[in-house]
Amino acid sequence: MNLGVLDYGAGNLRSVLNAFTAIGYEAKLVTKPEQFGDIDVLVFPGQGAFGDSVRILKETGLWEPLRAWLKDEKPYLGICLGYQLLFESSEECPGVEGLGVAPGRVRKFDAAHGLKIPHMGWNKVTWAEDKPVWWKDIPNPAHLYFVHSYYPDVADDSLALCLTDYGVPFVAGIAKANLMAVQFHPEKSQEIGLKLLKNAVEHLATTL
């Protein structure tokens, strides 16, 4: 199975590549549109602003292959920005359309609640009982590592993989047969994060 990690020049992806190596998989970076044809599972661990990321993906020619990949329901694993871009829009960048794979909008945490923004550090995640294939052998709840200022307001509750709370309850991850995407960083979440990545890769492999 060939894992491809989408790289459009934003952020250091070494920790993600190292995490896959730790669970027995070698992943390669995808930097050009033609490389989509060489992979089985697409991993998008992006970071940065919603609008800037859309612009860069379009400028580098990666936006349309990414959209086509998701439209064709090929195996996809999204982390952080790779989760948020699945939605229709974001308060971070009004007027910029997301990928629209999942219904809903990305919203900003309200600092008026006394919250420190960004939401940074470990937080409790409660898994959805109807999606055990993704979190098998992982405690429920579990603690995972977050770094973000915006969160998806998910319009379809049936997609919810897990929930957390930071001043407001929100869906910290979604999943369906060919796709898992999470707001937290599995690659920074020690053993539990690595186990989640392993579960995800092994399940996505069954959809090929």
Q: Which of 64, 185, 202, 203 is catalytic?
A: 185
Q: Is 162 one of the catalytic residues?
A: no
Q: Is 93 one of the catalytic residues?
A: no
Q: Is 91 one of the catalytic residues?
A: no
Two structure tokens written together for 196: 């989640």
Two structure tokens written together for 25: 């998989």
Q: Which of 80, 93, 119, 148 is catalytic?
A: 80
E strand segments, 27-88: 27-30, 41-44, 76-79
What residue has token string 């060939």?
2
Q: How far apart are CA 16 and CA 22, in angstroms?
A: 10
Q: Longest Cα pair distance anywhere in the chain, in angstroms? A: 47
Q: Which of 93, 148, 162, 187 is catalytic?
A: 187
> How many CA within 13 A on the CB side of residue 118?
15
Catalytic residues: 80, 185, 187
